[in-house]
Structure 1
Amino acid sequence: MTSPEPIKFLLVDDLEANLQALTALLRRDGLALLTARSGPEALELLLVHDIALAILDVQMPGMGGFELAEVMRSTDRTRQIPIIFLTAGIVDSQRRIRGYETGAVDFLAKPIEAHSLINKANTFYDLARQRQELALTNAKLAQADRLKDEFLAMLAHELRNPLAPLRNAAEILQTDAIAAEEREHALHILSRQIENMTRMIDDLLDVSRITEGKIELRKQPVSLAAVVHAATSLMRSECAARNQELTVTLMDEPVFLLADATRLEQVFGNLLTNACKYGGDGCRISVSAERAGSDVIVRVADNGTGIEPELLPRIFDLFVQASRTLDRRHGGLGIGLTLVQRILKLHSGTIEAQSEGLGHGAQFIVRLPVLTTPPVPRTNSVKPAPVTLEPPKRILIVDDNTDSARSLAILQSRQGHETRTAFSGTEALEVAAEFKPEIVVLDIGLPGMDGFEVARQIRALPELSDIFLIAMTGYGSADSRAEGRKAGFDAFLVKPIDLQELRSLMRTGRRE
Structure 2
Amino acid sequence: MGQVSFLLVDDLEENLISLEALLRREGLNLLKARSGDQALELLLQHDVALALIDVQMPGLNGFELAELMRGNERTRRVPIIFVTAGNTTDSRWRFQGYEAGAVDFIQKPIEADVLRSKAEVFFELYRQRQQIAAQRDELQLQAEALRDADRRKDEFLATLAHELRTPLAPLRNGLDILQRNPNSENAGDLRNMMDRQLVHLVRLIDDLLDVSRVSKGKIELRKEILRIDEIIRSAAESSRPLIDGGNHRLTIDMPADVLWVEGDQVRLSQALSNLLNNAAKYTPAGGQIGLFAKSDGHHVVIRVTDNGVGIPEGMQAEVFQLFSQIDDHKQRSQGGLGIGLALVRQLVEMHGGSVDAYSAGPGTGSRFTIRLPLAAAPPVSDTVAPQRLEVPNNRSLRVLVVDDNPIIADTLGMMLEDIGHEFEAVHDGRMALDAARHYHPDVILLDIGLPGMNGYEVCKAIRGEAEFQDTPIIAQTGWGQDRDKELATEAGFNFHLTKPVPLEQLQKVFATLSP
Q: TM-score range by the shorter chain?
A: 0.7 to 0.9
Given that residues 400 and 436 in structure 2 are in contact (C-alpha distance below 8 angstroms), is that contact kept between their aligned partners in structure 1? yes
Q: Does residue 1:418 correspond to 2:418, yes or no?
A: no
Q: 2:170 aligns with which of 165, 170, 175?
A: 165
Structure 1 residues 88 and 164 mapped into 2: Cα distance closer, same or farther (>3 Å)?
same
Specify the SS of the correspondent of 1:313.
Answer: coil
- Report how many aligned residue pairs link the two structures: 477
How far 1:204 sits from its partner (Å)?
1.6
Equivalent residue for 2:253? 249
Given that residues 89 and 110 in structure 1 are in contact (C-alpha distance below 8 angstroms), is that contact kept between their aligned partners in structure 2? no
Structure 1 residues 229 and 112 mapped into 2: Cα distance closer, same or farther (>3 Å)?
same
Structure 1 residues 412 and 119 mapped into 2: Cα distance closer, same or farther (>3 Å)?
same
Given that residues 169 and 186 in structure 1 are in contact (C-alpha distance below 8 angstroms), is that contact kept between their aligned partners in structure 2? yes
1:203 partner letter = D
Residue-by-residue CA offset, 1:270-292 (whole Å, 9 max, x unaligned) = 11221221133344332333332
Specify the SS of the correspondent of 2:212.
Answer: helix
How far 1:460 sits from its partner (Å)?
5.8
Q: 1:397 aligns with which of 395, 398, 401?
A: 401
Q: Does residue 1:374 correspond to 2:377, yes or no?
A: yes
Specify the SS of the correspondent of 2:207.
Answer: helix
Q: 2:66 aligns with which of 59, 64, 67?
A: 64
Given that residues 402 and 423 in structure 1 are in contact (C-alpha distance below 8 angstroms), is that contact kept between their aligned partners in structure 2? yes
Specify the SS of the correspondent of 2:279.
Answer: helix
Given that residues 242 and 281 in structure 1 are in contact (C-alpha distance below 8 angstroms), is that contact kept between their aligned partners in structure 2? yes
Superposed, 1:99-248 pairs within 5 Å as 110=115, 121-176=126-181, 178-179=183-184, 182-235=186-239, 238-239=242-243, 241-248=245-252
RMSD, aligned CA: 4.8
Structure 1 residues 327 and 280 mapped into 2: Cα distance closer, same or farther (>3 Å)?
closer
Structure 1 residues 10 and 171 mapped into 2: Cα distance closer, same or farther (>3 Å)?
farther
How far 1:433 sits from its partner (Å)?
5.0
Q: Does residue 1:314 correspond to 2:303, yes or no?
A: no
Superposed, 1:20-39 pairs within 5 Å as 26=27
Query: TM-score when scaled to structure 2?
Result: 0.74
Write the distance in 1 (CA, Å) between the matches of 2:440 and 2:148: 55
Residue-by-residue CA offset, 1:164-196 (whole Å, 9 max, x unaligned) = 2212222333344624x5222122112211211
Residue-by-residue CA offset, 1:304-345 (whole Å, 9 max, x unaligned) = 322123322221111111237875744111111111111111
Query: TM-score when scaled to structure 1?
Result: 0.75
Q: 2:295 aligns with which of 272, 281, 291?
A: 291
Given that residues 300 and 373 in structure 2 are in contact (C-alpha distance below 8 angstroms), is that contact kept between their aligned partners in structure 1? yes
Write the distance in 2 (CA, Å) between the matches of 1:177 and 1:497: 24
Specify the SS of the correspondent of 2:357.
Answer: strand
2:268 partner letter = L
Given that residues 88 and 111 in structure 1 are in contact (C-alpha distance below 8 angstroms), is that contact kept between their aligned partners in structure 2? no
Specify the SS of the correspondent of 1:173.
Answer: helix
Specify the SS of the correspondent of 2:317.
Answer: helix
Equivalent residue for 1:88? 83
1:414 partner letter = D
Write the distance in 2 (CA, Å) between the matches of 1:486 and 1:246: 43
Q: Could you list the runs of 5+ residues in structure 2 that have no partner in the other structure? A: 30-35, 56-61, 107-112
Specify the SS of the correspondent of 2:193.
Answer: helix
Q: 2:264 aligns with which of 260, 263, 272?
A: 260
Residue-by-residue CA offset, 1:406-440 (whole Å, 9 max, x unaligned) = 11011112333321222334554554454343433
Given that residues 39 and 64 in structure 1 are in contact (C-alpha distance below 8 angstroms), is that contact kept between their aligned partners in structure 2? no
Q: Could you list the runs of 5+ residues in structure 1 that have no partner in the other structure? A: 1-5, 29-35
How far 1:496 sits from its partner (Å)?
1.3
Structure 1 residues 177 and 498 mapped into 2: Cα distance closer, same or farther (>3 Å)?
closer
1:281 partner letter = A
Q: Which has the larger radius of gyration?
A: 2
